[in-house]
Structure 1
Amino acid sequence: MRLHVDQRHERVLELVRERGSLRVAELAAELGVSAVTLRRDVETLATQGRVQRLHGAVVWPDEASAEMGARQESAESVVIGMIVPTTASIFADIVRGAREAVGEWGGRLVLGVSGYVDTEDAVQAGHLVAGGAAGLLVAPSWSGGVPVDGQEQWLLDRDVPTVLVERSAPPGNPAAALDRVRTDRAHGAAVAVGHFAALGHRRITAVLQEGPHAAQIIAGYESAVHSLGLDGDPGAPSVREHGDYEASVDYLVDAVRARGVTAALVHGDEDAIVLVPRLQARGIRVPDDLALIAYDDEVAGLADVPLTAVAPPKRSVGELAAKLLLQRLAECGSGRPPAPRQHVELLPELRIRASCGGGTLAR
């Protein structure tokens, strides 16, 4: 028999008073309600000052302040190392998110930068761990976004908890057992293709940078084109070196004039901004002749023709990765079995601007 909300609140108070603290998931299971319902109950009781929430647990107020103080005291000495290939582009916000999350725990984030040099990752990791880092957040300099030829070995040799950031390892690779947090870039590409389709575009191409995220974006592009029954450009997706603008312009001009392409996904913002005036100089107007969506949304809104863009949740990636690592560190001293490893993927959003136009195509 389901308890009335007031009865449920009283039962929550009774159980927490008896045991001092309970995890939300355990309490929900004991009461036979969903975790969502239980969290709502706890939020109400916490607002009333009758219990206190504490990192997935419900704590009786007399014990909450002491436990919080102990956690803060231990966290003051926690140093988290973070290795990124650059502090520019998407990683600027990822680092900010991680720094804020670590700071909320009273810890300190220390940064290492590899410069996209594969061998530098291990050097930076050794330096950070020797300097006192209790755990590592790592975006390795894997050119394809995944390790090849044993590139993951240095990660496995580190005797500290490690969370991959915006990187992954394929099933069967030892690094696949690591926690990771990344953007689902395939989903973002599929959302972009779906938006083009909703506007009436049938033949869509892609011009992408070579790099760690290209494979995911290609996969999302191809899957969405197939699922939506669109006429993908026979020459697409096109993966080119960053800055290969003349080749990209030639490719797009030919795609529009010879193959009837009316929309393009371009990764990333900087390339898209450079391409627009060059296309217009060749008689291809954006969005009249070619609708365009950029990928990353770092500066897309500042273009002369403001660019619709796929926006990864960059700050949230850093924040969640840091919280996951801090959770692992807390487990190390708790005496409890560690929670299952996690592969977390966050969905990007599409920010609509002028570069797509709005009318349905006649052709």
Structure 2
Amino acid sequence: MTAERPDPLPGQRQERLLRALRATGSVVVSTLAPELGVSEMTLRRDLNALAARGLAVRVHGGATLPDAPGQEGVGPGSEAPQLTIGLVLPGVEYYWSPVVVGAREAAARVNARLILRCTGYDPIEDRKQVQSLLSYANVDGLIMAPTLDSLENGELVTWLDSLPVPVVLADRRSTAVPVRNLEWVTSDHAAGGALAVQHLVAQGHRRIAVCSGPTATTDQLLGGWHRESIRLGLDPAEQFAMRTDLTERDRRHAADELLERCTSTGTTAVIVHPDILTLTLVQQCLDAGIAIPDDLAVVSYDDEVAALADPPLSAVMPLKQDVGRMAMEMVHARLMAGDRRPPNRLTVMPVLNVRRSSTTRRG
């Protein structure tokens, strides 16, 4: 393999590419990249920049001049995709389904193709699927939600930051190591926890517990709950937090333990994450004769199915579809502007949907 020659500035490099394009009317990435001494990924990025300026039309494997014969209908709005974006997520069920919907809608607006890969919360699979997309699908950019809960976080993040295509993290952000190129769109789950506390305090509660499953949301949620409780003058010694796994058996044990601790400590309100755990708690309350919200106010976190409970559950809702949409818009903007656009990092505020489970108290 021949090493890539020292690269000129992007403007100079694109001018060389444009001269080659005008000389022949079309270019093939795999053929031209060795001639220009740049990588195929660098060349695809330059072609995207030229296409954004109306100087080229992207086609599969390369580009043509805008007025080249036989290219009618290849521009924006046509059926032929102009960009290919890899979407690497832990899964497509529950939390991630709205993220996919948002990314797909945004991709359709810019005539981009999405290729979805699922990794099952496995950091080794994260790397494997990214390498596959880069090597065999020739993606122009990546949107991904890597697993960042292990000691290898720093190595994975550093590797993603060094990739030659734009990478946007969806509902993830780098805290392990400093990064230069990575971008992200993430929900502010700490702010979501604070929203729930503010609402419950406004309803008169002074003892507010949290019970959460083992997700990437948990630490931020607990941090927001803790800080907002202190800020609003709640006694830290009178609050408590629990963590649990989310199997059916663990959910039932956690709900029983949570109710016992609420009864023994005089706790009158709980924040529970995710919805499936909250629904288990509601069922246990019904079996035990505990009235919601008169005996115990409940706020769920996620709001996937919270409105279907009886009573309907107040819930903090991360705007997951917006996260997917904004991540797609971000990677597209980076591809169009190239190195002229600095990395962006956005935080999306959740919303609180107030329903019957937290809005009235007895006596």
Normalising by structure 1, we get a TM-score of 0.74
Determine helix, strand or coil for the equivalent of 1:151. Answer: helix
Post-superposition Cα deviations, 1:32-84, rounded to whole Å, max 9, x if no partner, equal: xxxxxxxxxxxxxxxxxxxxxxxxxxxxxxxxxx9xx9666798320010100
Counterparts of 1:1-363 in structure 2 under 5 Å?
A: 76-129=81-134, 130-143=136-149, 148=153, 150-170=155-175, 173-175=177-179, 177-232=181-236, 234=238, 236-243=240-247, 244-332=250-338, 337-359=339-361
> Is the 1:100–1:319 Cα contact (8 Å) retained in structure 2?
yes
1:231 deviates by: 3.2
1:176 deviates by: 6.6
Post-superposition Cα deviations, 1:108-145, rounded to whole Å, max 9, x if no partner, equal: 1110100111110111111222212100001002237x
| Amino acid in the other structure paired with 1:95 | V
* 1:11 matched residue in structure 2: none
Determine helix, strand or coil for the equivalent of 2:282. Answer: helix
Alignment partners' CA distance in 2, 1:223 and 1:75: 50
1:232 deviates by: 4.5
> Is the 1:94–1:316 Cα contact (8 Å) retained in structure 2?
yes
Alignment partners' CA distance in 2, 1:117 and 1:260: 40
Determine helix, strand or coil for the equivalent of 1:150. Answer: helix
1:331 deviates by: 1.5
Alignment partners' CA distance in 1, 2:308 and 2:236: 29
Aligned residues: 290
Mark the runs of 5 or more structure 2 residues left unpaired by the alignment.
Answer: 1-65, 67-73
Pair 279,225 (structure 1): closer, same or farther in 2 beyond 3 Å? same
Determine helix, strand or coil for the equivalent of 1:169. Answer: coil
> Is the 2:272–2:301 Cα contact (8 Å) retained in structure 1?
yes
1:175 deviates by: 4.0
Alignment partners' CA distance in 1, 2:152 and 2:319: 24
| Amino acid in the other structure paired with 1:322 | M
> Is the 2:270–2:296 Cα contact (8 Å) retained in structure 1?
yes
| Amino acid in the other structure paired with 1:197 | V
Alignment partners' CA distance in 1, 2:305 and 2:83: 35
Normalising by structure 2, we get a TM-score of 0.74
1:286 deviates by: 1.8
- Deviates most, 156-165 or 73-82: 73-82
Post-superposition Cα deviations, 1:211-241, rounded to whole Å, max 9, x if no partner, equal: 2111110111001101111234656221221
Mark the runs of 5 or more structure 1 residues left unpaired by the alignment.
Answer: 1-65
> Is the 2:88–2:144 Cα contact (8 Å) retained in structure 1?
yes
| Amino acid in the other structure paired with 1:117 | D
Determine helix, strand or coil for the equivalent of 2:156. Answer: coil
Alignment partners' CA distance in 1, 2:209 and 2:356: 19
1:354 deviates by: 1.4
Determine helix, strand or coil for the equivalent of 1:242. Answer: coil
1:260 deviates by: 0.8
1:177 deviates by: 4.6
Alignment partners' CA distance in 1, 2:278 and 2:143: 30
| Amino acid in the other structure paired with 2:203 | L
